[in-house]
Structure 1
């Protein structure tokens, strides 16, 4: 494989951030990860491939339906590691029991879900089904097996539009969320997925933990993803203007992928039911400030010639929750 120095440095950072006790929990384990071809899957897969021997991992079972995930880098990764078994698999309808070695899995990472608003509005039912029926099928399969950890990827979107006094948002905030609207398929599916996690822990004592990501960014994000970092990056690559479909004042924080993956792994290995926000509190950056970062560095590195352009989206529901 061609070495990516940023990725290599990030993976070493993640490994270093795990405690000796956390590393020990990977020894002699088999890991199953759904949605392995997505943005987060890119780092999980590379991390496990890179450090499988150091951590004593026996096998990584990687599942992906390739609706939005990519396959080229996965094929390359599989060919470089005898620890990885890749299967084209739809968590909504396919039988996990038919996957060789699934019954012996110790750690489960359920990351199969569309996360880009553009795409989950195109595939709303698939988004709902992956987080509810796909989640339920996995829980039903592993409830009677002695797994050590089950990580469900929820989302910061379950908080909806928090009132100002709840920003930064604590994990016990119940949310201000619309159950009907263009984004509801994602937000409400994640909320219901969390309810399933809670029920299976309470009723069967399953070691389920929940991660709520806040705006991760970094290598591995598809430039056609349509989320803000990817959208701006693609505009710079294509030497197009950066289009902002608001007044540029909305703010958010951005958590770099290596910090986020470190948090997700710690959540996976937590051993008991809990919920964790994975992100950073500061700095809070406006969309306009974020675009200016791409403008300045794009010009310096790529000779970018575009500018910031404020437009009204042709989509009447673009800013609707």
Structure 2
């Protein structure tokens, strides 16, 4: 039985990863806890590890931690029935209760919506700090072999205007009195917490600084910019930008992000951070919109600038240029495989399904 029964594009990606030379043997016969297991990255990690079990018989025990039991059962019931996945229902804001052994942790549970960061900044901060503190305490108790924390490019804040490629040692400015900084500052503090646990308690936790990541599996109603662009192409609607679209970022395809997380989990150095991005995808928001209009939209739609008066309520970051350098990750053996245009093509094919 396939892992992604409703998304053949995602299934193709998973099977390509299983057929690749990822350093996965360390996980054979081990227990892996995935938090945020109903999220975009968490769910695909659960599917990927289950795909390894089916195709390579690695007998990985996958513990999918979910807050919403109904949603978890809907996503993973076929794998629970198959025996690959165990559902652990719980909120990371409370101590994790699990009696059996855990060897590895992939910690992806987090607030993800920009509008939520603005409307619920206190909850955004506490979910980051208290939630990850509970996971790290649990990791210490279980004497795990490895853990990866899913951080974000937002820890870099706003770089200097003349900044070149951003390495893991470069940091820009974050305005601490802006409620939108609840996410960025929360991620920064949690990274320090992870490094502190690695130093003081020898917890083998590593940090993955993900650029914006998308591909098949993104929900049709997702509020992030790439999903809106994809919907516009599918519905043949003009793309409306609420800023001038000058912000430049680099992006990463979901399949490439999954492989990066496994490289970092297994081969990364405890207490250190790794940028996860396709360095060839650095593009401005406006350029990305125009790419989608011309290629995916076949030139039948156009990009429109319409800046609202209540712009702050949208939760957008300040305009910036931030091109991540992923050479440190590449030194572990990882490489990006999918470019921006193909990322959108596969995202849209997945949405159609």
Per the shorter chain, which TM-score range?
0.7 to 0.9
Deviation at 1:26, TM superposition (A): 0.6
Deviation at 1:232, TM superposition (A): 1.3
Deviation at 1:138, TM superposition (A): 1.4
Distance 2:275 2:306 in 1: 33
> Taking structure 2 as the reference length, what is the TM-score of the superposition?
0.80
* RMSD, aligned CA: 2.5
Match of 1:49 in 2: 50
Q: What are the Cα deviations for residues 100-136 of structure 1, in whole angstroms up to 9, with x where unaligned? A: 53xx010011100022312333332332122110111
Distance 1:81 1:60 in 2: 12
What are the residue-to-residue correspondences of 1:1-321 with 2, within 5 Å? 2=5, 4-19=7-22, 22-53=23-54, 54=56, 56-66=58-68, 71=72, 74-79=75-80, 81-93=82-94, 95-97=95-97, 99=98, 101=100, 104-270=101-267, 272-273=269-270, 274-300=272-298, 306-317=301-312, 318=314, 319-321=316-318
Return 5+ residue gaps in structure 1 as ranges.
none
More deviation, 210-219/143-152: 143-152
Match of 2:343 in 1: none
Distance 2:252 2:173 in 1: 23
Distance 1:189 1:110 in 2: 15
Deviation at 1:285, TM superposition (A): 1.6
More deviation, 265-274/185-194: 265-274
Match of 1:135, SS state, is: helix
Contact 2:80 2:86 in 1 (8 A): no
Alignment CA distance shift 1:280-1:39 (3 Å): same
Aligned length: 311
More deviation, 222-231/23-32: 222-231
Deviation at 1:291, TM superposition (A): 1.3
Contact 1:18 1:266 in 2 (8 A): no
Deviation at 1:28, TM superposition (A): 1.4
Alignment CA distance shift 1:177-1:32 (3 Å): same
Deviation at 1:73, TM superposition (A): 5.3
Deviation at 1:84, TM superposition (A): 0.5
Q: What are the Cα deviations for residues 75-112 of structure 1, in whole angstroms up to 9, with x where unaligned? A: 4443553110123321002x312x353xx010011100
Deviation at 1:12, TM superposition (A): 2.7
Match of 1:154, SS state, is: strand
Distance 2:175 2:183 in 1: 11
Distance 2:74 2:300 in 1: 31
Match of 1:25, SS state, is: helix
Distance 1:65 1:315 in 2: 33
